[in-house]
Amino acid sequence: MAEARVAPGAAIDDAEGESLGANQEIPQQQAQGEVVVNIMNQVLIWIGFDVVANRQAFRSEIAEIKDMVELTEKDITELQELYAKRTQKVYFGLQRTKQLKATLHWV
C-alpha cells in the first residue's frame, strides 16, 4: 500500500477513510507527531471526491495510485460513463474527469 507521512494540520483521510479538513483535529502518532496517509485517498480528495462512498467505489476499480500507470485517458472516460449508469451513481463532472486524466500523466 502506498503511504506517506503528512505534517499535522494537513487535510487528509484518517485511518477509517473519513475525510478530515485542515481545520479538524487529525489523529497523530504520539511518538513522531505524524500520521500515515493512503496516497490514493489523498489524491481523490484533492480531485474533489469528498464523499467517502464515492472514493471507495472508485478505489474498487483503481485501488492504488500505481494502478493508474497502465490506464489511458479513454479508460477514465469509460470509467466515468460506467459510474454514471450504475444504480448508485457517481458523477465525475468535467473538472474531476480532467483532473483524473491529468493524474495519469503525473503518475
- Report how many domains make up the chain: 1
Phi-psi group of 94: left, alpha or beta (phi > 0 → left; psi -120 to 50 → alpha; rest → beta): alpha
Q: State if pTM tops 0.85.
A: no
Q: Cβ of 34: how many Cβ atoms within 10 Å?
A: 14
CA separation for the pair 1, 76 (Å, rounded): 22
pLDDT tens for the chain, residues 1 to 107: 444 555 544 554 444 445 454 444 444 444 555 666 678 888 888 888 888 888 888 888 888 888 888 889 999 999 899 988 888 788 888 999 999 999 888 87
**Host domain of residue 34:** 3-106
DSSP 88: S
